[in-house]
Structure 1
Amino acid sequence: MKEEFVNVGKPVPKKDAYEKAIGRATYIHDLKLPGMLYGKILYSRYPHARIVHIDTSKAEKLPGVKAVLTGYNIPEIRIGFYKDNTPLKKGKVYAMRDEVAAVAAIDPEIAEEALELIEVEYEPLPAVFDPEEAMKEDAPLIHEEHKTNVLRLPWKLVAGDVDEARKNSAYVVEDQFRVTRVTHCCMGTSGCVAVFDPQDNLTLYSITQIPYLAQRDFQEALKAMGLTGKKVRVIQTTIGGGFGSKLDTHCYEYIAILLAHRTRRPVKITFTREEEFKYTSPRQPAIIRIAQGCDR
């Protein structure tokens, strides 16, 4: 067996340690591009509701506002595991973290003020907040297109003969466990900056943990926007913590892309700590049943 390895068993210097130690590392909140606008997102007021009407006219007239988007004036971009999510919702909202409208303005304060001027009329619908309640036959149906509240995964993992192992075990311990919702609490909150060049090629500065997979997903978004054959460049800025929370693309990234293309200027979206707790992807709560067997 080879005893000498190039990396295994040897200290590996952290390439960004010096920049971080002297305070010179560039985090997403530090990034500022010429002509950059600031994006903010309006979220749903209800956990389940129909969107009856959205009036953005007052926000559009506010000095300093450069673009106002809703699900009704953007291309049909489908995202998520089942491609059933969109950057901005239209028709219905399914959670209080659902994105309803977005604004780009010359500074964050004007963007916030513009959000307050957007008028949304909702028709509240029955909601469910517990997975066991959601599985009952008389539970309100949340995603009508799926015809069920139970997520149908396209795979089933099987390893070995479970029934045989249980039968041959001297002892079997089985119980049900619950884990609650957990926010990752990264030191750096979520954010990105989107910018298009004159040829409609996209550069996205992001705190993503999956730059190559993100590049593929954003390429699909550009196709939906009618920008077929354009280049997508994802630049990973210094990440202020991840812990798995950034192993996907998120609606706010697509919203920044849409705002940047609409305004033809760089657009930056960053989250406050309150927004991070409310609107980013946590570890979901779960009810888990586990059985373990052992011999003597």
Structure 2
Amino acid sequence: MGDTFGQEVVVTRRSAFRTLGIEIGQAAQYVIVSRLTVTKIGPDGGATVTQTIEGGRLVDADPTMRESLTAALAQIKGAALEIVVGPTGDVVRIRVPKDPVRLLVREDPVAGKVLRVWSLLDEDGWKELAGITFFQPVQPLQRGRTWARNLTHDWGALGEWRGRTVYTDTGRQGADERITYAHALSHRPPQKVAENMPVRVLAAEFAPVTANGVILYDPVRGRVSAAEEVFRVKGAVSVSTGVGPAAIEVEEEQGFRLRVTDPANRALVGGGAPPGLRAEK
């Protein structure tokens, strides 16, 4: 009760879209720094935690995205999340600040008018970061031990992911226990057409290319020190633009580096995970 610690997350996104022989790419990287405080301990050993976003910083982005991303990162400062964690570290419930879907319209010299629809981090994204932060491995720690947990992620207008995450204890890395994990996921297409989008997604089909990560767990403190994940998929989307349907090939890569720090060591930097912590690309 009352324990406070820091969380620093470096988010990286890269996308490529191909249609009618034209390819358009976009990329961005930004940092979000938070303070987490335990506000309640449950009778079962679980806890309620308030996560306050202390700030965000844009590391890099396409010129057309910089202004809107910088503004969005400034707007989330001071926002608070409420996280309920079970006794095994699983996130039971999470309340996140509303992050509106943003629309950016620009003229491209090759493709003509380009619509970009985006948000900083969706609700399931926040939940997964919390799940990594409060992750607790199966005990006792034992090199070679494996276990699995179910995973779902709502991708909004693009459908959802369902499957399992398999964890493997690979032994010590310095003072920490190194745990690798891989997501075995299948994509489910959207069940209905989203009506509130400027471009209507009629159908979507994706397959993961890379979906894995690494967690460093401090057995003395009983908490995660750092983590990294890479999630890359390829697929096809059918959309209605108002002038007719269009088929788009999509390649999306999302990744994060996460550090859990003591309050005195928090800083708005982009250093990410310690050396040697790398998810397979």
Higher strand share: 2
* Common fold: TM-score over 0.5: no
TM-score (norm 2): 0.26
Structure with bigger RCO (C-alpha 8 Å, 6+ apart): 1
Higher helix share: 1
